[in-house]
């Protein structure tokens, strides 16, 4: 048998890595002599360690054969030996390829097993997560059940003792409820329901009774409303009677209603001024002005202040994030305005004089400083615009200066205000007087306010206000009358006319040659620059609140300058004259004894020059005496200095007992009435 026939009879070996031998065998059922070879089946029976050793041995044998082939080639051996070794090498290569396939199959099998294990782990992990979620859900449900609060827990039930005492036996059931807390709660809820039903019935009855009463009130209100027009007609018809009897009941009622919202100092001042007007001065009137609604808002107690403050703070924070923050200067200005804030209501007191002039006093209360201020206004029946030098007499800023001694009204009398001003950067209150008014001490006393040096305050002392009311009102009326009299006198003095009343004519001789030629007003700075008033300035007899004037008296070539200081308290305080004579040189009271005597005549002898009380003619009498003294001095001095014959500049017209006396040769300046001669004092 040939080799080809043998090859045909050899069984076929089919390698299949996907199916099993049984399935492959089923595909070719007709081929009974075909054997199926499956490496996966072989792989299960092989040991990986043995395969690893086989791999090492095969590699070693292959390397050995390669070396032999190399030696045979180099030695030129027969090709038969080399062919034999090549076949052996091919067998070893086949073995290595098989081992490589088995290794890859093992790796794939291991990966498949690992993937299956990971899938099983993932399934178990998912089941675990589901179980944990179910556990968490069950716990939440359990917590909800544990935290559940029934609505009956919010109901305030009666105590158990009261329940067993008041509840009937069919509801309380003591034999059951005392041992069962649940039944006790149900019984208490039943009793609460019964009580609420009973109270609901009572509430309905009360509502019905309320409606009945409300209807009765509405009927009575309609009846009273129908009376209102008739009462108003009666009140309107009685107004002429009220005016005739000086009993304005309606006006007083309205003012009393508004007065309830005044701050305590202004209220005390209103009551005392009204009482003084009724008792002593029927022409005095007091009225209230201002915003009543704002005053009511101030007097209303704050509600929910803490909540409002917290809400306002939150709003301010939100606004601050949206807008630029205010500068420090703007914040200080706002604080100053708040500190100097007035009360919305003010008080006006009108003082009337006999000549028809009225002094209007406007009183204000500064709430944060706790002081009163006053502003003034003068109304007259005549035109007072003629006198230029009288411009400051009725000025509202200086009219009431020094009503009492040293009370200038420029600084606050409350010592506490000094520390308040330091916080907001106010150096002096005088900067705000023109807007806020003057805080005179007498104004505080009229409002019942009195401050001590340690800052203690007697709050609204009615007795203090009453004790100062009468004298202060008289001083105010006297101040207005004095200023009006001065205004009238200044108008004449500016026209070189010295108005001497008939009651004062006996103080002067019938003929006075010297006359006033000029009367002007001066400022404090201009006055202090005069050389002949320095001694007065050094003596401290001047204040910036005084009024300063310059009078010029002339006779012939002689010219007498008189610097006049008028105190705000005129005529209680005499005007002060300082003299300077321009005649044959310049002379003053510091260098000439006779001029000093002339100053004494006009400055010292108040009782002679005052005239009838209250002494409003004092200033004009002083100027007239100054003219008389100048006549006496010039006539006597001209006779002594000029001994020549012929006409003299100042002929002697005054009758004197002696022309001079003493080493200083003083002239006789005292006028004796009714004899009509001059003598020495």
Query: pLDDT tens digits for 187-230?
Result: 888 888 899 999 999 999 999 999 999 999 999 999 888 888 88
**Claim to verify: residue 561 and residue 674 sit in the same structural domain:** yes
142 pLDDT band, cuts 50/70/90, is very high
End position of a domain, from candidates 110, 145, 180? 145
| Residue 32 located in a structural domain | no
**Claim to verify: residue 444 and residue 394 sit in the same structural domain:** yes
454 pLDDT band, cuts 50/70/90, is low
State yes or no: pLDDT of 385 exceeds 90.
no
Model pLDDT, residue 248: 64
Query: 270 and 288 in contact (C-beta within 8 Å)?
Result: yes
Q: Report the relative pairing of strands 547-555 and 285-290 from DSSP bridges.
A: unpaired
End position of a domain, from candidates 451, 480, 509? 480
pLDDT digits (tens, 9 = 90+) for 420-441: 888 888 888 988 998 999 999 9
State yes or no: pLDDT of 598 exceeds 80.
yes
| Residue 387 located in a structural domain | yes
Q: Could you say which DSSP state residue 568 is in?
A: T
What domain range is 506 assigned to?
Answer: 496-637+650-679
Packing angle, helices 264-279 and 462-493, rounded to 10: 70
**Claim to verify: residue 171 and residue 200 sit in the same structural domain:** yes
pLDDT digits (tens, 9 = 90+) for 312-365: 555 555 555 545 445 666 788 888 889 999 999 999 999 998 888 999 999 999
Model pLDDT, residue 20: 44
State yes or no: pLDDT of 42 exceeds 90.
no
| Residue 322 located in a structural domain | no
Q: 88: which residues sit within 8 A by CB, 6+ positions away?
A: 61, 65
Model pLDDT, residue 15: 46
Which among 7-21, 335-349, 440-454 has the top mean pLDDT? 335-349
Model pLDDT, residue 35: 55
Report how many domains make up the chain: 4
| Residue 27 located in a structural domain | no
pLDDT digits (tens, 9 = 90+) for 90-128: 999 999 998 999 899 999 999 999 999 999 999 999 999
Average pLDDT for the chain:
84
Buried b or exposed e, range 419-446, using 16+ CB within 10 angstroms: ebbeebebeebeeebeebbbbbbbbbbb
Q: Is 533 helix (H, G, I), strand (E, B) or coil?
A: helix
Per the structure block, which two tokens stand in for 123?
């399934």
**Claim to verify: residue 265 and residue 132 sit in the same structural domain:** no
Instruction: Calculate mean pLDDT across residues 593-608.
Output: 91
Nearest to 580 by CA among 571, 589, 569, 567: 589
Cα–Cα separations (whole angstroms), residue 376 to 277, 350, 437: 19, 10, 9
Cα–Cα separations (whole angstroms), residue 367 to 27, 121, 144, 255, 464: 118, 84, 60, 21, 20
**Claim to verify: residue 512 and residue 608 sit in the same structural domain:** yes
What are the helix (H) ranges across 148-180? 160-166, 169-172, 174-177
255 pLDDT band, cuts 50/70/90, is confident
| Residue 485 located in a structural domain | no
The residue ranking higher by pLDDT, 359 or 311, is: 359
| Residue 7 located in a structural domain | no
**Claim to verify: residue 438 and residue 538 sit in the same structural domain:** no
Q: 481: which residues sit within 8 A by CB, 6+ positions away?
A: 353, 355, 614, 616
| Residue 103 located in a structural domain | yes
**Claim to verify: residue 188 and residue 265 sit in the same structural domain:** no
Instruction: Calculate mean pLDDT across residues 133-161.
Output: 86
Which among 71-80, 341-350, 453-462 has the top mean pLDDT? 341-350
Q: Is 91 helix (H, G, I), strand (E, B) or coil?
A: helix
Residue 213: half-sphere exposure toward Cβ, Cα within 13 Å: 6
Instruction: Calculate mean pLDDT across residues 593-605.
Output: 91
Q: 192: which residues sit within 8 A by CB, 6+ positions away?
A: 155, 157, 158
Model pLDDT, residue 37: 59
The residue ranking higher by pLDDT, 267 or 653, is: 267
**Claim to verify: residue 369 and residue 454 sit in the same structural domain:** yes
600 pLDDT band, cuts 50/70/90, is very high
Instruction: Calculate mean pLDDT across residues 645-665.
Output: 78
**Claim to verify: residue 64 and residue 100 sit in the same structural domain:** yes
| Residue 672 located in a structural domain | yes
Model pLDDT, residue 373: 95
State yes or no: pLDDT of 307 exceeds 60.
no
19 pLDDT band, cuts 50/70/90, is very low
Instruction: Calculate mean pLDDT across residues 251-269.
Output: 86
As a whole number of angstroms, the distance between CA 679 and CA 681 comes to 7
Model pLDDT, residue 383: 75
Task: Provide φ and ψ at 550, rounded to 5°.
Answer: -125, 120
State yes or no: pLDDT of 18 exceeds 50.
no
**Claim to verify: residue 469 and residue 500 sit in the same structural domain:** no
620 pLDDT band, cuts 50/70/90, is very high
**Claim to verify: residue 616 and residue 656 sit in the same structural domain:** yes
In the chain, pLDDT over 70 holds for what percent of residues? 86
The residue ranking higher by pLDDT, 147 or 641, is: 147
Model pLDDT, residue 161: 85
Q: Is 329 exposed, middle or buried (0-12, 13-18, 19+ CB in 10 A)?
A: exposed
Q: For the chain, what percentages of helix, strand and coil (3-state, to nearest 5) are there?
A: 55, 15, 30
The residue ranking higher by pLDDT, 287 or 458, is: 287
State yes or no: pLDDT of 29 exceeds 50.
no
End position of a domain, from candidates 480, 510, 526? 480
Stated pTM of the model: 0.62
Model pLDDT, residue 282: 85
Which among 134-143, 403-412, 499-508, 648-657 has the top mean pLDDT? 134-143
Model pLDDT, residue 79: 78
Nearest to 667 by CA among 596, 603, 606, 608: 596
State yes or no: pLDDT of 24 exceeds 60.
no
Model pLDDT, residue 12: 42
Model pLDDT, residue 8: 39
Model pLDDT, residue 437: 93
What are the helix (H) ranges across 364-461? 416-424, 433-436, 441-446
647 pLDDT band, cuts 50/70/90, is low
Model pLDDT, residue 94: 92
**Claim to verify: residue 591 and residue 562 sit in the same structural domain:** yes
Nearest to 477 by CA among 363, 575, 386, 349: 349
């Amino acid at each position: 048998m040939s080799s080809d026939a043998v090859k045909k009879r050899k069984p076929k070996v089919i390698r299949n890595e996907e199916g099993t031998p049984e399935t492959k065998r089923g595909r070719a059922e007709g081929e009974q002599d075909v054997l199926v070879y499956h490496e996966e089946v072989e792989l299960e029976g092989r040991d990986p360690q043995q395969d690893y050793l086989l791999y090492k041995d095969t590699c070693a044998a292959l390397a050995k054969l390669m070396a032999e082939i190399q030696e045979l080639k180099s030695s030129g051996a027969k090709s038969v030996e080399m062919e034999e070794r090549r076949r052996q090498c091919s067998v070893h290569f086949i073995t290595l390829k098989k081992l490589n396939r088995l290794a890859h199959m093992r790796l794939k099998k291991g990966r498949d097993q690992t993937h299956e294990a990971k899938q099983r782990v993932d399934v178990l992990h998912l089941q675990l997560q589901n179980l944990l979620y179910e556990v968490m859900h069950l716990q939440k449900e359990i917590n909800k059940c544990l935290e559940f609060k029934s609505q009956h827990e919010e109901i305030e039930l009666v105590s158990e003792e009261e329940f067993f005492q008041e509840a009937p036996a069919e509801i309380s059931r003591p034999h059951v409820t005392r041992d069962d807390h649940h039944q006790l709660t149900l019984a208490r809820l039943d009793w609460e329901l019964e009580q609420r039903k009973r109270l609901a019935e009572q509430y309905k009855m009360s509502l019905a009774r309320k409606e009945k009463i409300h209807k009765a009130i509405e009927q009575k209100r309609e009846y009273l409303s129908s009376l209102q027009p008739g009462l108003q007609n009666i009140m309107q018809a009685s107004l002429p009677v009220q005016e005739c009897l000086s009993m304005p009941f309606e006006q007083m009622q309205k003012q009393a209603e508004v007065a309830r919202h005044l701050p305590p100092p202004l209220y005390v001042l209103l009551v005392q001024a009204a009482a003084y007007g009724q008792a002593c001065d029927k022409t005095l009137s007091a009225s209230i002005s201002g915003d009543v609604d704002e005053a009511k808002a101030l007097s209303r107690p704050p509600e929910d202040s803490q909540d409002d403050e917290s809400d306002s703070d939150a709003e301010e924070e939100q606004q601050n994030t949206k807008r630029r923050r205010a500068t420090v200067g703007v914040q200080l200005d706002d604080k100053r305005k708040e500190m100097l804030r007035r009360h919305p209501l003010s008080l006006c007191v009108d003082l009337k004089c006999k000549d028809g002039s009225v002094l209007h006093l406007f009183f204000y209360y500064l709430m944060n400083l706790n002081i009163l201020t006053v502003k003034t206004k003068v109304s007259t029946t005549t035109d007072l615009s003629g006198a230029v030098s009288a411009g400051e007499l009725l000025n509202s800023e200086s009219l009431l200066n020094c009503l009492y001694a040293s009370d200038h009204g420029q600084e606050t009398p409350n010592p506490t205000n000094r520390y308040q001003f330091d916080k907001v950067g106010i150096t002096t209150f005088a900067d705000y007087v023109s807007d806020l008014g003057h805080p005179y001490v007498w104004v505080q006393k009229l409002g019942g306010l009195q401050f001590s040096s340690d800052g203690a305050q007697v709050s609204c002392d009615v007795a203090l206000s009453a004790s100062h009311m009468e004298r202060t009102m008289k001083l105010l009326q006297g101040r207005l009358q004095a200023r009006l009299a001065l205004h009238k006198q200044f108008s004449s003095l500016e026209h070189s006319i010295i108005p001497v009343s008939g009651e004062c004519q006996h103080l002067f001789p019938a003929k006075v040659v010297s006359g006033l030629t000029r009367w002007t007003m001066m400022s404090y700075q201009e006055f202090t620059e005069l050389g002949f008033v320095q001694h007065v300035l050094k003596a401290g007899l001047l204040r910036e609140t005084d009024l300063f004037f310059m009078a010029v008296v002339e006779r012939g070539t002689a010219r007498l300058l008189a610097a006049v200081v008028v105190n705000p308290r005129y005529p209680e305080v005499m005007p002060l004259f300082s003299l300077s004579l321009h005649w044959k040189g310049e002379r003053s009271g510091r260098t000439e004894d006779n001029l000093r005597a002339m100053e004494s005549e006009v400055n010292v002898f108040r009782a002679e020059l005052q005239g009838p009380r209250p002494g409003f003619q004092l200033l004009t009498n002083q100027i007239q005496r100054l003219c008389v003294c100048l006549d006496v001095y010039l006539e006597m001095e001209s006779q002594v200095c000029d001994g020549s014959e012929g006409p003299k500049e100042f002929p002697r017209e005054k009758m004197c007992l002696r022309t001079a006396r003493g080493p200083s040769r003083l002239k006789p300046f005292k006028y004796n009435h009714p004899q009509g001669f001059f003598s020495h004092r």
